[in-house]
Amino acid sequence: MAEEKQGVERPAFTPIPDLYRRVDEVLDRIRPYVQLDGGHVELVDVDETGGVVHIRFQGSCQGCPSSAMTLQMGIENEIKMSIPEIRQVVAV
């Protein structure tokens, strides 16, 4: 018979904050274009207080010289236009 661990609690389900969900929805619209070039964009964090979004480039986007331009002209502009409370998008 397996021993049960007492005193170990599972964390409660934490709902996804609204701002995080909205940013991820915007990224869902952008991702197919990034994936055409073999890359991917992962949403890492959304700082609701400061209005800062942290993303991670993956695949062919990692280390690509054009990723800074993709971030600034494509991803950041689209997120800021869609969600005015976002002030900055940072690649980590």
pLDDT band at 66 (very low <50, low <70, confident <90, very high): confident
pLDDT at 15: 74
pLDDT at 68: 86
Alpha-carbon distance of 17 to 14, in angstroms, equals 9
Q: Are 90 and 53 spatial neighbours (Cβ–Cβ below 8 Å)? A: yes
pLDDT at 79: 97
Domain layout of the chain by residue ranges: 18-91
pLDDT band at 26 (very low <50, low <70, confident <90, very high): very high
**What CATH number has the domain spanning 18-91?**
3.30.300.130
- E strands within the chain? 39-47, 52-59, 88-91
Pick the residue with more confidence: 10 or 41? 41
pLDDT at 3: 52
Q: Which residue has the tokens 């070039």?
A: 37
Report which of 52, 58, 15, 51 is spatially closest to residue 35, judged by C-alpha positions. 58
Q: Is residue 37 predicted with pLDDT exceeding 70?
A: yes
